[in-house]
Structure 1
Amino acid sequence: MNAPQSAAAGLPIGVGGAADPRFDAPLRTFARIFAGRSGNGGALAVHQHGVPVVNIWAGAADAHGTPWTADTGAMIYSASKGVAATVLARLADRGLLDYAAPVAEYWPEFAANGKADITVEQLLSHRAGLSALPATTVEEVLDHRLMEERLAAAAPDHLRGKPIYHALTIGWLMAGLARAITGRDMTELFRTEVAEPLGTDGIHLGRPPAGARTRPADLVGSMKTLADRTIPGPASALALRLPNIVRAPIASIYVPGLESIFRGEHPRILETALPAGNAVCTATGLATMYGALASGGTAAGKPYLTAHTVRALERVRTYQLDRALVVPFWHLGYHSLPALRAPRGYGHMGAFGSTGWADPRSGVSIGFVHNRMSLGWSAIDMTLIVPLIHQILHAASLSAPGADQRTAGAA
């Protein structure tokens, strides 16, 4: 976003970038959380009808105090799923994928163990009964081709047909489906179906390649410190012996020793293809992608998805509460929220709060990323995004995008 020559006023101290004055409330909220932080940082981008109206950042990209910039990306955890869902939407848009068709029509191996009639829609709305990680080791979790094959061969559990968050498995399932159709890895498809057509460098699966403008922020905070230690074997095994109502969500995200992939200065989680959780994105990259969904499938005046496909993405596919998360209503790989006064639109949130969001009614899209893995901040980071989206949508409804924006350099 190009800042105007004469700004109305400076941004809060410690915040860099530019923002339309209408967005004072979300700007202040963001500044309270991130401005002046020496060990962590984040960024917020808002587009309206494809026009950038907020592009701000604050804080540090690592524990050494390296300043966050417009090109700093963060690992966005489960918000990665929204990007993978957009890859599949592109395939559906070209007639290569029918959401109503059985997954096995495209991926024959998936028909094993009674799964021949599970549809793509059921898969993407977390109703395939495949939420639990197959019996596996940490090294196998890092082998995405192996995980795709194991899930194709797996038998669905007793929750088939009911929504339960497939926290990690949905990523490999989407990747396996996309690979069966295109012959390509999801890492490549993030680039060829999302980043390149939208003209953004800010969307990558795993660590951005050499030469990319996007620079990944370090994972920092108390959860990172815990990950650098080993959880005792008896404690980790106990998690998988809990009552089923508690065990099911845990079994979808944890195998003993999984914390090891977050360790060190170059954590292994960024060296694999984990479409459910290890995308590295800038706030602008996410806002650009969701901008196409919020604008009827158009990006920068060019068609990205047809209106028919975008309408299909907007429709809620199950109004049953999720058995693991309780909260979301599922779309085709994205979610909305059934809570009272929930934000309009749909998208996908990730652990610690990183989020991409689209509201077709207002034409608003949002990208919010940060690198803080902190026990002390987790509750704030996870709940911040809902009021932040509300503030953004309220500000967007006040008037048409203004020509006057406030600007500042990062302090």
Structure 2
Amino acid sequence: MFKPTSSHLADVTAWFEDNFRSRGDLGASVSVWQSGVEILNLGAGHCDRARSRVWTQDTLAPVWSATKAPAAVCALMALEEARLAIDSPVGEVWPEFVSSGKEHMSFAHLFSHTAGLCALDERVSILNYDSVIEALEHQQPLWEPGMKQGYHARTFGFLMDEIVRRITGEESLGGYFREMIGGPMDLDFWIGLPVEEHSRVATLYPGKISIADADRPFLKAFNTSGTITQRTFTSPMGLNAIQDFNQPETWQRGYASMGGVGSAHGLGKFYAMLAQGGTWEGRQIVSEAIVRQLSETLSEEEDLVLCTPIAFGTGVMKDPMQTNPEQPPGKLRQYFGPSPSAFGHPGAGGCLAFADPENQISFAYVMNQMETGALPGPKSIGMIERLYGL
């Protein structure tokens, strides 16, 4: 098992500090764990551009799509509770879903972003949960399920949320997360932030520079009217401005695709539990079977929405493998470190968190100065490379 040395951690710290001098960070924190112990926890900068609030290790920030992994784990726990395999038809728990060519769609299609439900034909508001669910029920898949892959940027959370509600009877996925994981682990992470925590949230600011080369085709598609990429990121409608995620009502609503709010410490702790086979302080929080599902690749394709090769485990991202025969075998990218079993999820603007079960390592980085793009960039990748001595 690889163990980061004090030299590795010093190099991570140096890169983190240089993010503020050279790469535009305003406020940020990073948390690294191994074998259930936090081995690095840094926080620096400010919560706002006026520099009226100092960013600390306990500062909370909206983390956008980094919410998807905790949401997927909740849905997997619900399926396990119902003794349903992920290749079971969605209609077994959601009968209204099976219309419009979705009769044979399985949970695996939803978790792997191969369902063809990334964009909705009906113009419905993201603020109206019931209307979004009805639109998903009416929606005909944009491709034959399982035959193509396209990141379900917004609809993914509604799909996960409805699975949890149908099976468990909970009022929301966020409530189920708090009951089953967040509360028992005392996590500094919420999908639906309580009012008493609002004062701890940093202000987000939009970025101007792409954070990754892989984002360039994505940004072109994102800014081109009528593309599947643009349709995906505007379905359902609303909450498209960064400022929307500085509003307390958005934090409270608990959008399972992009509404999570937490600290790097809280996200890192969540993944530390997964990196230990789902155990925390002697208690099995998530089954080993679910952790294995997260580690196993369900789909790996040129993603129609993100416009780059992406691999998905069961509701989480993984690094795609090199397919160019002229290049050495191995990972095409190392967003989640060198281990092939590692998994996690980035969030818009640059935040990133992952688990490496092979080495019992977890990593989380959150910040408030966003950059354009959907994939990780130098600010987090540089720290990961130094953590592993790459």
- TM normalised by structure 2 equals 0.82
Q: Which residue of 1 aligns with 2:108?
A: 121
Larger Rg: 1
1:328 aligns to what SS in structure 2?
Answer: strand
Q: Which residue of 2 aligns with 1:405?
A: none
Contact in 2 for aligned 1:262/1:268 (Cα 8 Å) = no
Contact in 2 for aligned 1:261/1:267 (Cα 8 Å) = no
Contact in 1 for aligned 2:223/2:230 (Cα 8 Å) = no
2:309 aligns to what SS in structure 1?
Answer: coil
Residue type of the alignment partner of 2:385: H
Q: Which residue of 2 aligns with 1:79?
A: 66
Contact in 1 for aligned 2:31/2:41 (Cα 8 Å) = yes
1:190-244 superposed Cα distances (whole Å, 9 cap, x missing partner): 21122112221x11124x2123488211112457xxxxxxxxxxxxx99433xxx
Q: Which residue of 1 aligns with 2:204?
A: 219
Residue type of the alignment partner of 2:315: G
Q: How many angstroms apart in 1 are the aligned matches of 2:374 and 2:174?
A: 31
Contact in 1 for aligned 2:245/2:251 (Cα 8 Å) = no
Q: Which residue of 1 aligns with 2:234?
A: 254
Q: Which residue of 2 aligns with 1:385?
A: 380
2:355 to 355, 358, 362: 358
Q: How many angstroms apart in 2 are the aligned matches of 1:183 and 1:73?
A: 29
2:343 to 336, 341, 346: 346
Task: Give, in angstroms, the shift of residue 104 of structure 1.
Answer: 1.1
Contact in 1 for aligned 2:32/2:364 (Cα 8 Å) = yes
1:327 to 292, 298, 309: 309
1:359-400 superposed Cα distances (whole Å, 9 cap, x missing partner): 11110011111111345xx699634323322322349xxxxx
Task: Give, in angstroms, the shift of residue 167 of structure 1.
Answer: 0.7
Give the count of matched residue pairs: 353
Q: Which residue of 2 aligns with 1:399?
A: none
Q: Which residue of 1 aligns with 2:50?
A: 64
Q: Which residue of 1 aligns with 2:145?
A: 160
1:210 aligns with 2:192: no
1:68-97 superposed Cα distances (whole Å, 9 cap, x missing partner): 122211111111101101112322443444
Runs of 4+ in structure 1 over 6 Å off: 35-39, 378-381
1:141 aligns with 2:160: no
1:43-76 superposed Cα distances (whole Å, 9 cap, x missing partner): 1001101111011111111223201122211111
Task: Give, in angstroms, the shift of residue 311 of structure 1.
Answer: 1.4
Which one is further off, 119-128 or 366-375? 366-375
Q: How many angstroms apart in 1 are the aligned matches of 2:274 and 2:199?
A: 23
Q: How many angstroms apart in 1 are the aligned matches of 2:56 and 2:26?
A: 12
Q: Which residue of 2 aligns with 1:296?
A: 277
Q: How many angstroms apart in 2 are the aligned matches of 1:292 and 1:39?
A: 28
Give the aligned CA root-mean-square deviation in angstroms.
2.9
1:180 aligns with 2:166: yes
1:88 to 48, 53, 75: 75
1:49 aligns with 2:35: yes
Task: Give, in angstroms, the shift of residue 297 of structure 1.
Answer: 1.4
Q: How many angstroms apart in 2 are the aligned matches of 1:52 and 1:145?
A: 40
Percent identity reads 29
Pair 1:289–1:134, CA change in 2 (3 A): farther
Q: How many angstroms apart in 2 are the aligned matches of 1:312 and 1:259?
A: 32
1:319 aligns to what SS in structure 2?
Answer: strand
Q: How many angstroms apart in 2 are the aligned matches of 1:314 and 1:141?
A: 31
Residue type of the alignment partner of 1:177: I
Contact in 1 for aligned 2:75/2:161 (Cα 8 Å) = no
Q: Which residue of 1 aligns with 2:299?
A: 318
Pair 1:57–1:250, CA change in 2 (3 A): same
Task: Give, in angstroms, the shift of residue 327 of structure 1.
Answer: 2.8
Contact in 2 for aligned 1:81/1:348 (Cα 8 Å) = yes
Task: Give, in angstroms, the shift of residue 270 of structure 1.
Answer: 2.9
Q: Which residues of structure 1 form unaligned runs of 5+?
A: 1-18, 224-236, 242-246, 396-411
Contact in 2 for aligned 1:39/1:220 (Cα 8 Å) = no
1:351 aligns to what SS in structure 2?
Answer: coil
Q: How many angstroms apart in 2 are the aligned matches of 1:287 and 1:264?
A: 22
1:365 aligns to what SS in structure 2?
Answer: strand
1:99 aligns to what SS in structure 2?
Answer: coil
1:130 to 109, 117, 125: 117
1:198 to 178, 185, 188: 185
Which one is further off, 37-46 or 337-346? 37-46
1:141 aligns to what SS in structure 2?
Answer: coil
Contact in 2 for aligned 1:92/1:309 (Cα 8 Å) = no
1:72 aligns to what SS in structure 2?
Answer: coil
Q: How many angstroms apart in 2 are the aligned matches of 1:173 and 1:297?
A: 23
1:345-367 superposed Cα distances (whole Å, 9 cap, x missing partner): 11011111111101111100111
Contact in 1 for aligned 2:346/2:375 (Cα 8 Å) = no
Q: How many angstroms apart in 1 are the aligned matches of 2:378 and 2:89?
A: 36
2:247 to 233, 243, 266: 266
Q: How many angstroms apart in 2 are the aligned matches of 1:379 and 1:118?
A: 27
- TM normalised by structure 1 equals 0.78
